[in-house]
Amino acid sequence: SHIPIILLTARADTASKLQGLRSGADAYLSKPFNPEELKVRLHQLFELRQRLRQRYGGNAFGKNIPPPHKEEDAFQKEDAFLKKVRAVIEKKLSDPEFDVQQLSRELGLSRSQLFRKVKGLTGKSIILYIRSVRLHQAREMLQSTDMNISEVGYAVGFTNPAYFSTAFLNEFGENPSSIRHS
């Protein structure tokens, strides 16, 4: 879904065009086609993908400003996929053994499909995305519970408190203890 599909075909009838678009193509151009139209369509599709990446790239939870109406369907499809991924991760949050293989199995995707799709939408590898979800949950726990920092780290699947603190610092630019005191 993050890779643009453009059909260039000799079939110019409306039924073929509708079938192609219903099958998931982003654009349908019949031969002979205007090269300028192809360039414009490509440009628009790449801009849309760039906006998707910006929307999800720095934010594992997609809580940015809502998209313009024209792009709403694309955002809804991508948002639904990321919500499903996040739900599976959150369900297994405390399991330090939970990995990409288990996630891909739960989603019914191959590891490479999952990697490409998440990387295309967020700009992050799936491993970094899982870690980001864990760390955002940890931040919420630090702000809303009385658990100590090590307990929070263990609760979100980290087995080493020092690594948890380092990962937290890399994700948020501050130590877990500074979140606790704010």
- The mean pLDDT value for 58-82 works out to 53
User: In this structure, is residue 88 part of a structural domain?
Assistant: yes
User: In this structure, is residue 104 part of a structural domain?
Assistant: yes
User: In this structure, is residue 126 part of a structural domain?
Assistant: yes
User: In this structure, is residue 150 part of a structural domain?
Assistant: yes
The residue ranking higher by pLDDT, 72 or 86, is 86
- The count of structural domains within the chain is 1
pLDDT tens digits, one per residue of 75-85 = 555 678 888 99
Query: Three-class SS string for 128-162?
Result: HHHHHHHHHHHHHHHHHCCCCHHHHHHHCCCCCHH
Q: Report the CATH number at residue 98.
A: 1.10.10.60
Mark residue 148 as left, alpha or beta (left: phi above 0; alpha: psi -120 to 50; beta: remaining): beta
Give the pLDDT band (50/70/90) at residue 128: very high
Whole domain around residue 172: which residue ranges? 76-182
